A and B are shown apart, each in its own frame.
Chain A
Amino acid sequence: MRRLLANAAVALVTAVTILPLVWMVLVSFMPRGASSAYPPPLWPTRWTLENYHELLARRLIDGAWFDYRVLPALWNSVLVAVISTMLGLLLTVPAGYAFAKLRFRGRERLLQALIAALVVPGQVAMLPLFLIFKELGLVNSYAGVILPSLAGIFAVLFVRQATLAIPDEMLDAARLDGASEIRIFVSIVLPLLAPVTVTLAVFLFLGSWNDFLWPLIVLADQHLYTLPVAVAAIGREHAADGELMMAAAVVTTLPVLAIFLALQRYYITGLLGGSIKG
């Protein structure tokens, strides 16, 4: 009895949680205006791709080409997320290792400063950063979006935490054998850190993909909009077009949901690992 009750409760909670996402997908395939009915239809009476066609295809309207620039935004998002993930890993994984295992002057003090910096909300830096980037000519560029995401304080601490588990003897043995520090990092540490690196990559990618406030500030040119910025802009003009907006939401969420589902084991273990140690 209890077993039945507990399982039913979990299933119900999950169903309610997932419903908005499922509904989003279903409505995106409904004909224009079909979802504005009472009771709200839960299943398309007729499946159609017209919302996706309107959203993604370029059309000739009154002699001028028109489109919502969703595909370019998708491309911008992919580019920005891939570059900031790659560069983020390149910058933070070696640094996290150094903070965990290499002895150098000022290590402890720098570490404390990094931990203290976690309390400062990123938005405080945004206004001066905008002015600095304006001087440097980075406003309205991919670099302007990507650069702030590379200040991975959390990522450095995350990698450091994971690296602490590697036994010192292993590294010292390699040093005695005459291996260089770079060699030790590349051939011993990196393979051991592979799962953590995948976890971090997923974190970084999702973070970059979903970032909104900073791209909104730094990008004024519609051609450079990332997906969230583009979707927010379309949403302001097409607030009433439920089916069209749902299609836009699907295009924005589906890629990350797919990545999350494919790599969920790493992502969730990363979360669990961090919380047990921390």
Chain B
Amino acid sequence: MTRQSRTAWLFTVPVLAIILLVFVVPTALALGLSVTDYSIYALADPANLHFVGLGNFADLFATPLFWRAMANTGLCALLGVPMAIGTSLAVALLLHDRTVRWKPLWRVLLFAPYVTSVVATSVVWRFVLNTQFGLLNYALRAIGAPGVDWLGDPRASIPAILLFVTWKVFGYNMIVFTAALAAVPVDLMEAARLDGAGRWMRFRHVTLPAIGPTLLLAAVMSVAGFLQIFAEPYVMTLGGPSQSTTTVLYFMFDEGFKWWNLGQASAVAFILFVLILLLTMIQTRIGRRYEWL
């Protein structure tokens, strides 16, 4: 063994060992757990553990609440990703304008919600979204719109949560997009301007292709993020009203740690994993087709 490789192992083995113990092994075990009936009885006595094959998956597919959770989570990703990415891009473009002053100050303030604890800001937003006394309904009424029962109406609860999540996370991709926008070639932009291309044409044909890869990466990470919503419904709505905010992870948490059906919950976790993997692959393929990657 060379001196270099000895040092390399000394440097990498500790962290690799921990990754193995708390990530690789449990992930492999999750697959094993998902084909057992591990429940509170097995927790008490391992003799109660049985192999059930794909039984957990069959049970899940026959459970209405599971499909409800899938639909809710799908809706979160479908509405949330465009909402969050759109907000990030719009604000980044606004901030990119060369006439805007004090950019570092705006950047820091706009980013601030991202570093706060989800639980704490969920608590705050539960009051912002309050039907009677909330700031949001106050603003809506001030412009003549009717107030909405944000967290009490099953049709409004997901949009309400997405509004909160967008507020919380848009700062991150805004910063990322700011960097990408700064790298758009200036001479190309100038050439387009001289050729008489309007604002929209310049955005469509110069800016968008240049930031395409960044946009795609942000979309991939956002999809994964929106599929993993948990703390927001846990703190704001407890999955309600009438299970309209029960997400896949919320469902998994209840199955696993409220009812102690760990086998069943592992099956849920596994489905979530496959879903994220599939969506990532599809998005990468779309990216390749348009030569963004």
Question: B246 contacts the other chain (Cβ, under 8 Å)?
Answer: no
**B110-149 vs A: 1/0 string, CB under 8 Å?**
1111011111110111111000111100100000000000
**A10-50 vs B: 1/0 string, CB under 8 Å?**
11011001111101100100000001111110000000000
The secondary-structure label for the interface of chain B is helix
CA distance A227 to B117 in the complex (A): 9
B5 touches A235 (CB 8 A): no
Question: A249 contacts the other chain (Cβ, under 8 Å)?
Answer: yes
Contacts of B16 in A (CB 8 A): 95, 110
What is the total number of residues of chain B having a CB less than 8 Å from a CB of chain A? 94
Question: In residues 1-60 of chain B, which contact A (Cβ within 8 Å)?
Answer: 2-12, 14-16, 18-19, 21-27, 29-30, 32-33
Give chain B nearest CB distance to A127 CB in angstroms: 5
The secondary-structure label for the interface of chain A is helix
What is the total number of residues of chain A having a CB less than 8 Å from a CB of chain B? 96
Give chain A nearest CB distance to B131 CB in angstroms: 11
Which of A58-66, A98-106, A192-200 has 4 or more CB atoms under 8 Å from chain B?
A98-106
Give chain B nearest CB distance to A75 CB in angstroms: 16
Question: In residues 70-116 of chain B, which contact A (Cβ within 8 Å)?
Answer: 91, 94-95, 97, 99-101, 106-113, 115-116
Which residue of B94, B183, B262 is within 8 Å of A6 (Cβ)? B94
Question: B230 contacts the other chain (Cβ, under 8 Å)?
Answer: yes
Chain A residues within 8 Å of B, Cβ to Cβ: 2-3, 6-7, 9-11, 13-14, 17-21, 23-24, 27, 35-40, 91-92, 94-95, 97-99, 102-105, 107, 110, 114, 117, 119-132, 147-148, 150-153, 156, 180-182, 185, 206, 209-210, 212-213, 217, 227-229, 231-232, 235-236, 239, 242, 245-246, 248-249, 252-253, 256-257, 260-261, 264, 267-268, 271-272, 275-276, 278
Please name 17 pairs of A and B residues whose Cβ atoms are closer than 8 Å in the assembled complex, sorted by A. A7-B99, A38-B138, A40-B138, A102-B5, A110-B12, A120-B27, A127-B265, A128-B33, A148-B22, A212-B117, A229-B119, A232-B235, A235-B119, A235-B235, A264-B111, A272-B175, A275-B176
